[in-house]
Structure 1
């Protein structure tokens, strides 16, 4: 029979055991604490002194919830749970183990509660985001005369912020003043945060009443102004803080100020802040360094961003992503890919932001292989469930003309939100598949996804490409029913959609019914008239726009020029360009000059067009479109000599474009130079230039049919071929009859 040790009623009888457990607990060696306790239990030794158990319960909260429950059960059997101090330790054990309901049960069963009891249970609720229950406990405790500690007060104020309880917050503010806690900085700053959430006027009033404002107090007020698009005010407050009140800055406030400079795109101020951060010894702060990289990147100065990046001694994934975003934004795609390689070499694992940036690179480079490579990395690192990554993948595959892969990615997603549906609609539209885009929208409507402005804009774009007026009107009706048509962007897209379907009257009606119009709306309507061969109406609308006090922008003027060019209004176009030069001067873009060249060339004024090109400002170099306009005019007016020179310029600027080869081939063919025409076409094939076939859009029975040369798959192709053959026969008969009449007249 095993020898049982007697029950020990006093800690003093086994001082070594108690001191050993206490020492182990002080050093956080929780496993050893429980091991010692277990040995004592196995030996049959029991302690009846409540002060022995708090370290045991602490160890249980860190190591084993089940063991802690056993200890609690043992204490109940021994009747030790009635001690308030031990009850507090039991509540603390359950709170730290996440068993809030068990903590509540123990708390409710306590016969005597002290301030520690209330603080523990209130802390437990707040720490587990049970703000409403925690706040209720606080007011219940106050009715018993409970005096909270500072940390409890800070958490109570946080609960008021989270629950948006302005009235309760003011009650607590009054209690803080009466109880003498007002002078404590952490309490003041917590109140300041709360009032900033309720409105800056309350926060500023409290801020002005504070006698001892530290860097945190200033940070709260300054951050509010930055977050609410008042960066200029934030910078002025920062100046006062440093210059007038001589407050020593820290890393967080420098990050906030750099954010203000970023929002304002104020490069000079950002440079000064950078110098100030260096002078205050904050250049080694990784978070400040990341903010500097982000600032320079968003100000399109990636060279400075790279320098700031190199000065960060310990870089994290945010450091790399900030510079990567800068390269992507500045369209330095090769540098972005090289940076990603360096990131992998440095052993930094990419995250969702990294992959979204890389997919943006793929989108611009239109490299399917690179897109698939990044997709494989996403799968290997387990980021395929991230919605932002998935949406970026769909868009990138579409821009790489891999619409099948984009659709597969979309179909495999477990949950498609509004952004995903919108992205898929845009993907089909981009890949010249408007019918499929509209079908996706219909499918989205069946699953009752909420519509938003972006979805409607993508749908309108698909309808514009589809060209069927009935569907376009239906899309317009959906926007009206969902109260989206009144938005300026939606109204503008509607009139643009109608104009691309050839329904210029519907465009004008949509324009007239827009409750608010901006420069973009007027420009879109002017462009619609120009696109539909109504340049005089476009000029008239431009005059009306100016009479209402709206100044046209460069896009408006480009639309006017284009309308005059396609409508043959040379004098009016020249007048528009003169006004453009007078109003905008150096701001005029290359496209405006190219459009004027097109205007002159279309009218047969080749000499004037070439002279205009020769006299362009030094900063402007003629584009391929300008020389293509010259080449097109040479084809129409039979100037193959001039056209040969224009062709050389087009091929120099756009060697992979098919437009130059086709125009030159047609130019030589129209002049009867068949061998030269054939040689140019052969040269185009050898260069690998891809020819995108033009098409005709025909409306039959309220449906739009697209016909491409050689297309035999269209539903109306056979009927159309029969019709064309009949038309051809009638034309022959007409020609023969005309020849017979002419011959009779000659006789």
Structure 2
């Protein structure tokens, strides 16, 4: 009989007769697997599990916890877990995994601590979930406790845990600690090497990136596409074209000349270094392209001032049937802003509305910047006021737009509104505000802004201090301008 028979008098129910045929653990496991997408059905099955006195089976309890967790019903999952007075490790892991998948990081760590206090056995999955929860909370101290436990139980030789420990420390910018963990690992696979190389890329230590790569090759480890992408990113960020071309040669030597992921990274590298011709050559010779490849090439053209070429690529993208996403639109809007092409910008704005992208924070911010640079400050304000969510970049884009279009008074009002909403300004916001004070010739507002800058620790920022000197000079406060200049020269 089908579980469709649950429905009686417009409510879901399960008859005992139906389950008499399968009132075994395996039968219930099969039913949970088959009807795992509906919470009400799962609860009905759970009720029958209790009725048939098989709720004490931990494998069945594990399946229930996982099913409830998949449905984001964590209270029900925890209720199942709490019924077991002596839970085994796999049952605890199911609950830990459920919390983690639902981003309940604190509850994950609370349960991990409870397992420790009850002397329950930890395995590699337990440590995996606990360390990922620490990563989610950026909790360095607890993460180090987990790492110490991993080392103490001699599980640091498990390659997945080893790379996870490195990734955790890299994310928290503890690159020295990450290197010490890496050096402790006796058997390193390509994932461990990639984690460490990627960490050095993120921290900007490009010499270490290549040193690790050469050590990796000396150890007999074959690089993966992720390895090569890390090297390519290091070249792009350091601006070293010569090494970048050497890495390109290595890509071909390692047989990755048709890997879309790696080739897209090469397009990005050449674009960032201003060699758009080479970027285009790599792009055109790619055997297969995905949306990331197209977006990278479009963004590269705009970055190098080739706005017309970016729109040609966009037309090719649309006709290729690959589709486009919010990233594509943002790049094109930025291109329109560079050339003050308001007509094309309006067409893209219409596309954004039709596609339902108007709630996208990044796109809305780009549209505000576009209209501001085209002198259409009313349209920019209209878009800004309709936004349900704003971040400091959005506020800054609007404030800069007002300041650049001669609405300095409105810019200062917007800044006060920004403060009232508890948004912390960044250096770009503050420089624009200082320029606004200079534009309206308001030394009172200028001093107030200067005091805010001192409180926020921007006193010795060269861009900010230059703007302050200009503001005081334009407001007729030459002595104040000279005083700031003397301080800067002294420092």
1:399 aligns with 2:272: yes
User: RMSD between aligned alpha carbons?
Assistant: 3.3
* Counterpart for residue 575 of structure 1: 448
Q: Deviations over 1:280-304 (max 9, x none)?
A: 3334433332221111111111111
Do the aligned partners of residues 317 and 518 (structure 1) sit closer, same or farther apart at CA in structure 2, a change above 3 Å counting? closer
Provide the residue aligned with 1:358 in structure 2: 231
1:78-157 to 2 correspondences below 5 Å: 156=30
Match for residue 524 of structure 1? 397
Q: Does 1:388 align with 2:261?
A: yes
Residue number in structure 2 paired with 1:408: 281
Match of residue 250, structure 2, among 360, 364, 377: 377
3-state SS of paired residue (1:615): helix
Shift of 1:342: 0.8
Aligned equivalent of 2:425, options 532, 549, 553: 553
Structure showing greater radius of gyration is: 1
| 1:510–1:192 Cα change, 3 Å | closer
5+ residue gaps, structure 1, are: 1-141, 622-747
User: Who is 1:296 aligned against?
Assistant: 169
> Is the contact between residue 225 and residue 256 of structure 2 (CA under 8 Å) also seen in structure 1?
yes
Q: Distance in 2 between matches of 1:489 and 1:272?
A: 38
Q: CA deviation at 1:551?
A: 3.8
Selected match of 1:595 from 463, 467, 481:
467
How far apart are the structure 2 equivalents of 1:186 and 1:519? 49
User: Pairwise mapping of residues 89-488 of structure 1 onto structure 2 (< 5 A)?
Assistant: 156=30, 159-160=33-34, 164=37, 183-199=56-72, 200-243=74-117, 245-488=118-361
- The CA deviation at 1:392 is 1.6
Structure with larger RCO (C-alpha < 8 A, sep 6+): 2
* DSSP 3-state at the match of 1:210: coil
Q: Which TM-score applies when normalising by structure 2?
A: 0.85
- Are the aligned partners of 1:160 and 1:166 in contact in 2 as well (CA < 8 Å)? no
Counterparts of 2:151 and 2:347, CA distance in 1: 60
Change in 2 beyond 3 A, CA 1:566/1:388: farther
* Distance in 1 between residues matched to 2:138 and 2:459, nearest whole Å: 20
Cα 1:602–1:348 change in 2 (3 A) is: farther
Q: Which residue of 1 aligns with 2:12?
A: none
- Assess, with a 3 A threshold, how the Cα gap between structure 1 residues 147 and 224 changes in structure 2: closer, same or farther: closer
Contact 1:600–1:608 (CA under 8 A) maintained in structure 2: yes
With 513-522 and 439-448 compared, the bigger mean Cα shift is at: 513-522
SS of 1:337's partner is helix
Contact 1:530/1:559, CA 8 A, preserved across alignment: yes
Which blocks of at least 5 consecutive residues in structure 2 are unaligned? 1-17
Query: Are residues 1:612 and 2:450 paired?
Result: no
Structure 1 residues 354 and 539: alpha-carbon distance in aligned structure 2, compared to 1, 3 A threshold: same
Q: Is the 8 A contact 2:69 2:99 kept in 1?
A: no
1:204-261 C-alpha deviation (Å, 9 max, x unpaired): 2211223431122112212222232221221111111211x22121222112211111
Q: Deviations 1:362-410 (Å, cap 9, x if unpaired)?
A: 1101222322322232233333444332322221111122212222222
Q: Give the aligned partner of residue 497 of structure 1.
A: 370
Partners of 2:385 and 2:94 in 1: CA distance: 47
Q: Conserved in 2, the CA contact under 8 Å of 1:157 and 1:190? A: no
Which 10-residue stretch deviates more, 165-174 or 350-359? 165-174
Structure 2 partner of 1:507: 380
Deviation at 1:544, TM superposition (A): 4.1
Contact 1:469 1:501 in 2 (8 A): yes
CA contact (8 A) 1:435 1:466 kept: no
CA contact (8 A) 2:263 2:282 kept: yes
Q: Distance in 2 between matches of 1:478 and 1:508?
A: 19
Residue 606 of structure 1 and its aligned partner are, at CA, apart by 7.2
- For the 8 Å contact 2:97–2:129, the answer to whether it is kept is yes
> Do the aligned partners of 1:534 and 1:567 also contact (CA within 8 Å) in 2?
no
Matched residue SS, 2:221: coil
Distance 1:569 1:414 in 2: 60
- Closer, same or farther: CA 586–492 of 1 in aligned 2, 3 Å: closer
Paired residue secondary structure (1:297): helix
Assess, with a 3 A threshold, how the Cα gap between structure 1 residues 195 and 613 changes in structure 2: closer, same or farther. Answer: same
Instruction: Please report the TM-score for the alignment, with normalisation by the length of structure 1.
Output: 0.57
User: 2:222 aligns to what SS in structure 1?
Assistant: coil
Hey, what's the Cα distance between the residues in 2 that align with 1:234 and 1:498?
46
- Number of residue pairs aligned between Structure 1 and Structure 2: 472
